[in-house]
Structure 1
């Protein structure tokens, strides 16, 4: 059996080999233990670079994708960040190490409750998890310095673009739900929006409304 220290070394090496070079992102990934967000049968696979099932038919993204999205977001210490799609809470926990405040919205109340418990256990006081329709963002907290969407939309959602501060960055998977999607980095400029295609990804579709659970 590999020791926890060896597992962590292998985990960070795998991230670097996928192109994660930002030292702050790597430090955040080292501090936040993915094992705290993976339960049941799959807990033994928490340190593998693969997506894993969680409740409500959702998944926890593979660590390299979490790290690359976080790196593209370029979060600064004073930033207020919106995450759409809390899921397990893993991505929000990583962001909590980099930003001043993180608001994360999830359509499944059960996932919000589970994530909140994990945030409390880890002492992450700068993350707020909210049950709601993330496709509408959080107008009452807007504007945001950074927005990250962990579900695929056919286009970058208009309400979210509107809640991005000038100079702000949004990272969002775009494409049909069952086809290959592209990870897009959107920067709000004084004249509008600039779009940069980063890589191909596969995410669950961004759905409107609240889930049943």
Structure 2
């Protein structure tokens, strides 16, 4: 059996959905530009450098969800998808997903970005399984806190095992396990699967992939 996992930001997407969601809210005037723009950029740079404090970032990223009713958030997300996300879904990425869905018994997106932002994106790619950081909800509204283990670095491995267990499966059940990612932050999971693939990788992951003989591919500009 074959399991195929995709990172989302800067892998399937030619950009970062977390960063773009905050930028969208800033552009809409929902978040104060002076206060949030610099912090959003700083967190993004920390992520790229592998120095991100995930709990500090999630406090920044999830708090705005708690300040607005779900119906308003969903309406904003619809516009966000059209304006920010669809232009980042390259034909090459969509073709790769199509081949994966035809070829593998199980396909999922596994991302550090929260499920409110990413669930509609996964659906747009035609992928029904999503492992993402889960925002806590009470009575259908977000609290601004995270529920469970964030799907980040080693946390992706924890969440992967939990998800497979919920399906009555384990990673060892699959003869082939593939993971496509751009980021040094995903090295723990890339080193776990049988077929790691570096996609438009950052410098650290690119060097590691070359040393290990992993495939390096690009999904940009096609």
- TM bin, normalised by shorter chain, reads 0.3 to 0.5
Q: TM-score, normalised by structure 2?
A: 0.37
Which is richer in strand?
1
Which is richer in helix?
2
Larger radius of gyration: 2
Which is bigger in relative contact order (C-alpha 8 A, separation at least 6)? 2
